[in-house]
Structure 1
Amino acid sequence: MNGFQSPIDNPESLKQLSDHELQAVLLEGVSRTFALTIPQLPEALYPAVANAYLLCRIVDTIEDEVSLSPPQKKRFCDSFIEIVKTGRGAEAFADELAPLLSAQTIPAEHSLIRLIPRVIAITHSLSAPQIEALACCVETMARGMPVYQALDLHAGLKTMKNMDDYCYYVAGCVGEMLAKLFCHYSPEIAAHREELLKLSVSFGQGLQMTNILKDIWDDAKRGVCWLPQDIFDETGFNLADLTPTTNDERFRRGLERLIGIAHGHLQNALTYTQLLPSHETGIRNFCLWALGMAVLTLKKIKQHLDFNESNQVKISRNSVKATIIASKLSARSNWLLSLLFNLTSSGLKTPDWQYSPVSHTGP
């Protein structure tokens, strides 16, 4: 790019920014999707949700770092839990972790790690209930994810229950945290707290399952598979045989089954969104954009079951724009949202799927 350096690549240039500006720039660097959706939230929610995503991304960065051993990852995760809870020790933590990051970690995440003290200072500028919600999410994620990182995943997970648990640790607990933040923000939303908390886990799982299905072949190239073997037992395919060149009808039938399960979770995501007050269009759009893009991705996977790399089922920019426009036009109407969801997701449903809460006990 002719020597051009983005501000996110230079942590020193970010230190003069306000908290709001800093979080916006960091989000843009580590996730364009969330940089797009989080600003839709009411002003009172933006700081906490933006900060929550950055905290989760720090845990992700630790877990994805190829230069760290499983014991190192566990130690850094355990330390980070305490830092988020107490606000203490962030500088020493960043100073130790930053030099260990490899070139495989993107520059924006290098900057995020070096700016952990500032991110944690923002965390502890929030209200006590918000800090508690963020800390609970980080602890769940940071304790659960290392368990799965240490597994031999070339032959997938054993059961759908294992996949449920994995999705909870990486996404379901984030859904719970968001539900808590929304309830803290609005007594009207808090009236549905228990139902929202339950549905939020399913919402998170639907989004995570969609990502897993989209990234099957990218993961296979790394010798990793997040799919559950028991689903494929029904079709007679052994996930230990999965390679980037697999072309097997039995595998595609199992894939269809998982698409149906993910669709069921996204149906619950719609119910979750419809429980939010119709006048809270910012929060509804935040949910609807993620939901809409997930449905369109599942639709594309279903239409191209023989795909062999994620780019083939990545939705286009026009599809993203269409999702945003449709969401804005229908956000206030539960009837229109149901109609739009049913039309868009036709053909994805598995008739016998039903969500029921599960206990998350690990693999």
Structure 2
Amino acid sequence: MDKARAIEYQNAILPHVSRTFALTIPQLPDALQDVVGNSYLLCRIADTIEDEPALTAEQKSTYLKMFSEVVAAKEKPELLAEQLHPLLTDWTLKAERDLVQNTPIVIEITHDCTPNQREIMERCISTMSSGMAEFCAKQQLATVDELKDYCYYVAGVVGELLTDLFCDFSEEIARSRDKLITLSVSFGKGLQMVNILKDVWVDASRGVTWLPAELFRVSKNADGTTSSDPVLTVEGMRKLIGTTYEYLSQALQYSLMIPTREVGIRRFLLWTLGMAVLTLRRINKNPNFQRGDNVKISRNQVAATTFVANSIVGFNFLIDSLFRALTRGLPGNSKKS
């Protein structure tokens, strides 16, 4: 398949696996759109392997390692697709199954990227895959610190990837790389924490929770044994909301460090950050929600986010002021409430 048709597939599948990134990636400079879109699809393939409930922990570890080798051109993508696709069940979205089946097309774009871009992408997927394999045998994490580690492997590394791609694109951005790399990890972790909180019931339906056991209320049974309540306490939820707020605060600082002339990159970041903040506000307002739809932001809110972000994209003071206003009252932000 020629590159034009491969890019056509990439652009067609993206909205079906992530409406958010399908909306934000086109805001990037032309030179970054294809490589960032391809990087997201690579991460989504790894995520699909991790999330498929019919795969054993051993199978997940095997296919995650195999996928990392595919990205590094050490294994054939056709072999991965042939082996993995038949094992995916209806628990995995149809679009994600299609993505896995078309791994060779995605990898064709990956291997057509520049040497620097390929090195960045390979490093991210290698770290992500090995980290996911480490956690895939666990049905529940024990502590908040363990949750933070998990968020690094599945999302913090994506922040690092984006930063290195931005630095490869812009010498001006590259001069701030050391500070940006640190903040980018928090950006990725913050987005992942929002997703974990929002998708808690979806994950529970397949027998998995990423919420740490130490935040659940433990009851003593008549026979002397103990058991955890199936629902996280409001106090526990608010603690996680506070942690997420701290990450998103650093994501704001990351966004403000991008030069104002890089309007496309700023839009990409601010649209993403804005939607995450609005979702977190809804979770905080209704911590006992029973369905993801209860805290999902509306299309009108998405449209308002993009409009406002575009209007103030070059004004750091206004962006910072709006963030403070939107996060007022969130746990961890009591000093500003």
| TM-score, normalisation: structure 1 | 0.85
**Structure 1 residues 75-131: Cα deviation after superposition (integer angstroms, max 9, x where no partner):** 111111111112641112212222222222222122211211111111011011110
Kindly indicate whether residue 88 of structure 2 is the aligned counterpart of residue 104 of structure 1.
no
In 2, Cα distance between the equivalents of 1:68 and 1:159? 25
Report the equivalent of 2:22: 35
Kindly indicate whether residue 276 of structure 2 is the aligned counterpart of residue 289 of structure 1.
no
In 1, Cα distance between the equivalents of 2:203 and 2:280? 17
Cα deviation, residue 228, structure 1: 2.5
- The 8 Å contact of residues 7 and 109 in structure 2, kept in 1 or not, is answered as no
Kindly indicate whether residue 135 of structure 2 is the aligned counterpart of residue 151 of structure 1.
no
Kindly indicate whether residue 285 of structure 2 is the aligned counterpart of residue 303 of structure 1.
yes
Matches within 5 A, 1:7-156: 18-86=5-73, 88-153=75-140
Report the equivalent of 1:194: 178
Residue 255 and residue 237 in structure 1: after superposition, are their counterparts in 2 closer, same or farther (change >3 A)? farther
Residue 181 and residue 16 in structure 1: after superposition, are their counterparts in 2 closer, same or farther (change >3 A)? closer
Kindly indicate whether residue 314 of structure 2 is the aligned counterpart of residue 327 of structure 1.
no
| Count of matched residue pairs | 329
Aligned partner of residue 72 in structure 2, secondary structure: helix
Aligned partner of residue 91 in structure 2, secondary structure: coil
Amino acid at match of 2:77: A
Segments of 4+ in structure 1 off by > 4 A? 14-17, 236-240
Report the equivalent of 1:10: none
Residue 60 and residue 28 in structure 1: after superposition, are their counterparts in 2 closer, same or farther (change >3 A)? same
Cα deviation, residue 68, structure 1: 1.9
In 1, Cα distance between the equivalents of 2:333 and 2:275? 22
In 1, Cα distance between the equivalents of 2:100 and 2:206? 25
Unaligned runs of 5+ in 1: 1-13, 354-363
- The 8 Å contact of residues 200 and 272 in structure 1, kept in 2 or not, is answered as yes
Cα deviation, residue 194, structure 1: 0.5
Amino acid at match of 1:105: T
In 2, Cα distance between the equivalents of 1:37 and 1:87? 32
Cα deviation, residue 16, structure 1: 9.5
**Structure 1 residues 301-348: Cα deviation after superposition (integer angstroms, max 9, x where no partner):** 111122122111111111111111111001111001001101111111
Cα deviation, residue 60, structure 1: 1.1
In 2, Cα distance between the equivalents of 1:317 and 1:187? 36
Residue 71 and residue 262 in structure 1: after superposition, are their counterparts in 2 closer, same or farther (change >3 A)? same
Unaligned runs of 5+ in 2: 220-225
- The 8 Å contact of residues 85 and 100 in structure 2, kept in 1 or not, is answered as yes
Report the equivalent of 1:213: 197
Report the equivalent of 1:266: 248
In 1, Cα distance between the equivalents of 2:58 and 2:114? 33
Report the equivalent of 2:222: none
The share of aligned pairs that are identical, in percent, is 46
Aligned partner of residue 264 in structure 2, secondary structure: helix
Cα deviation, residue 265, structure 1: 0.6
Report the equivalent of 1:5: none
| TM-score, normalisation: structure 2 | 0.92
Cα deviation, residue 268, structure 1: 0.4
**Structure 1 residues 121-159: Cα deviation after superposition (integer angstroms, max 9, x where no partner):** 110110111101111111111111122220132xxx222
Residue 163 and residue 114 in structure 1: after superposition, are their counterparts in 2 closer, same or farther (change >3 A)? same
In 2, Cα distance between the equivalents of 1:287 and 1:93? 33
In 2, Cα distance between the equivalents of 1:58 and 1:331? 32
Amino acid at match of 1:316: S
For the aligned residue pairs, the C-alpha RMSD in angstroms reads 2.1
Identify which range, 299-308 or 336-345, moves more after superposition: 299-308
- The 8 Å contact of residues 301 and 313 in structure 1, kept in 2 or not, is answered as yes
In 2, Cα distance between the equivalents of 1:86 and 1:284? 33
Residue 140 and residue 103 in structure 1: after superposition, are their counterparts in 2 closer, same or farther (change >3 A)? same
In 2, Cα distance between the equivalents of 1:257 and 1:225? 16
- The 8 Å contact of residues 220 and 242 in structure 1, kept in 2 or not, is answered as no
2:322 pairs, out of 330, 340, 360, with: 340
Aligned partner of residue 86 in structure 1, secondary structure: coil
Cα deviation, residue 281, structure 1: 1.1
Report the equivalent of 1:4: none
